[in-house]
Amino acid sequence: MEKFKQLGVTEVLLDSLRDLKIEEPTEIQEKAIPLVLGGKDIIAGSATGSGKTLAFGASIVMNCAPGAGLQSLVLVPTRELAEQVAKSLHQFSKYKKLEIAAVYGGVSINPQFRDIDRADVVVGTPGRILDHIERRSIDLSGIKILVLDEADRMLDMGFIRDVEKILSHCSKYRQTLLFSATIGTEISRLAKRYMNNPVEVSAEDQVDPSKLKQVYYDVPDSTKFALLVHLLKKEHKGLVMVFCNTQHNTDFVARNLSNLGVDAVAIHGGLSQDKRSRIMSQFHSKDVNVLVCTDVAARGLDIKGVSHVYNYDVPNENNNYVHRIGRTARAGADGIAITILASRDYEQFGKLLKSSTLKIERQELPEVQRVPIIVQERRHHGGRFSRAGDRGHGGGRFNRHGGSRSRDNRGSSRGSRFGSRFGGRSRDRRHSGSRNRWR
């Protein structure tokens, strides 16, 4: 604990750290804690899992007094992160006995009135905090410490105006601590307008590049889901995260993996908060070992022991790819990031390959057996047709007459062109459609 003492941490927090068996500060803690305890505003470049909650929590625990009203507000982008941060702050303030309230949407607002009324610290999402401001059920005029956690994700999710409205209600005589995985133009503009001579600090990514292997498979559209099943059933090392771009794909993949004997659960913004909490509890306790998720739902969650990250969908932005693969190869452990590439993914994947910092190797496609899938029934012009969850799951879209239409019925030139680009062999995909429910 000597290093924490040297950073200025006092016994009220040191005792909690001993209980949690946290003995050495991380890089971001070492750089940020002396500044936040000195009352400085900071802009910290720090990824999920780097220990940033303790970095800003040190100021909250040591500078807020129990029973003195609302003194600190932590803004976060998602409900899961609100729960996670509130839990950590509760642990850090065990001997200070601060009241910590988690405030987010998707649940009844009524219990939150009571929680806020007695809270010393509120951790909340921008939308629900604004709801309370409009209802006059929260008073931010006494805020001494304001934290913007995962600031880049809040901006990506369109919360910039909400955040600025909330900032306008906070006391001007406050300390502002901004934590973000990336520091872009919008973050800099926000800092310039709302922060007081902020000091910038950053920590290296906690992922060990020498331990992380990045690979991709270029597959026919009809083989995408079957390859995922094949790879998951072959590996039994640790926890696995499978990323999809949409809620629809997330549900499709998780449902069909479960039906094929893979312990998988889905998490995305369309689920109720109670269900999302139960799912994360299952995953953390390793009752299930495959979490199928969207970027928004997974962002900010600190999940340890992830051995494999799968990109079932290629992310729409390069930064999201970096965030995804950063879930594995941590704390000295090996990790692998696997992208399953079908025709619809070529354009975005080509942009990924242009990055000089990403080294993604092509893997030979193994022999993969077709697997049965559950298709979604939808009505169309008075009739009923079956549709495989997404065009990338199988070779074609099923129509109400029982036939199939492949994405690549236009010819093999597209498959050949992109196969050449990525170092793969050309492939005629004109006959990848199927009339049955096997992939």
pLDDT tens digit sequence for 108-159: 999 999 999 999 999 999 999 999 999 999 999 999 999 999 898 888 788 8
Chain segment 346-366, per-residue pLDDT in tens = 999 998 888 877 889 999 999
Q: Is the pLDDT of residue 437 over 50?
A: yes
Show the beta-strand stretches assigned E in 191-263.
199-202, 212-218, 239-243
Placement of tokens 């090996």 in the chain: 334
Could you tell me if 183 and 51 lie in one domain?
A: yes
CA-wise closest residue to 306 among 233, 212, 239: 239
3 state SS for 286-341: CCCCEEEECHHHHCCCCCCCEEEEEECCCCCCHHHHHHHHCCCCCCCCCEEEEEEE
Question: What tokens appear for 131 in the block?
Answer: 């709801």
Model confidence band, residue 255 (pLDDT cutoffs 50, 70, 90): very high
Q: Give the domain range for residue 291.
A: 209-369
Number of H helices, E strands in the chain: 17, 18
Task: Output 399 or 73, whichever has higher pLDDT.
Answer: 73
CA-wise closest residue to 15 among 104, 91, 79: 91
Q: What's the whole-number mean pLDDT along residues 71-95?
A: 94
Residue 430 lies in a domain: no
pLDDT at 396: 34
How far is the C-alpha of 52 from the C-alpha of 55, rounded, in Å? 5
3 state SS for 140-190: CCCCCEEEECCHHHHHHCCCHHHHHHHHHHCCCCCEEEEEECCCCHHHHHH
How far is the C-alpha of 431 from the C-alpha of 426, rounded, in Å? 14
Three-state DSSP class for residue 357: coil
pLDDT at 48: 67
Could you tell me if 148 and 29 lie in one domain?
A: yes
Could you tell me if 61 and 186 lie in one domain?
A: yes
* pTM of this prediction exceeds 0.85: no
Q: What length is written for the chain?
A: 439
Residue 16 lies in a domain: yes
Chain segment 43-62, per-residue pLDDT in tens = 998 776 678 999 999 999 99
Could you tell me if 110 and 156 lie in one domain?
A: yes
Q: How many domains does the chain have?
A: 2
pLDDT at 438: 54
Chain segment 179-232, per-residue pLDDT in tens = 987 787 888 889 989 999 999 998 765 555 677 899 999 999 889 999 999 999
Chain segment 312-346, per-residue pLDDT in tens = 999 988 878 887 887 786 666 788 999 999 999 99
Could you tell me if 31 and 86 lie in one domain?
A: yes
Could you tell me if 228 and 193 lie in one domain?
A: no
Could you tell me if 326 and 262 lie in one domain?
A: yes
Q: What's the whole-number mean pLDDT along residues 14-22?
A: 94
Could you tell me if 49 and 160 lie in one domain?
A: yes
Look up the CATH number of the domain holding residue 99.
3.40.50.300
Q: What's the whole-number mean pLDDT along residues 382-403?
A: 37
pLDDT at 236: 67
pLDDT at 58: 96
How far is the C-alpha of 377 from the C-alpha of 358, rounded, in Å? 40
Model confidence band, residue 398 (pLDDT cutoffs 50, 70, 90): very low
Residue 434 lies in a domain: no
Model confidence band, residue 379 (pLDDT cutoffs 50, 70, 90): very low
Portion of the chain with pLDDT greater than 70, in percent: 80
Give all strands of the β-sheet with 72-75 in edge-to-edge order: 100-103, 121-124, 72-75, 145-148, 175-180, 42-45, 199-202
Could you tell me if 14 and 114 lie in one domain?
A: yes
Residue 277 lies in a domain: yes
pLDDT at 204: 64
Q: What's the whole-number mean pLDDT along residues 233-244?
A: 85
Could you tell me if 166 and 226 lie in one domain?
A: no
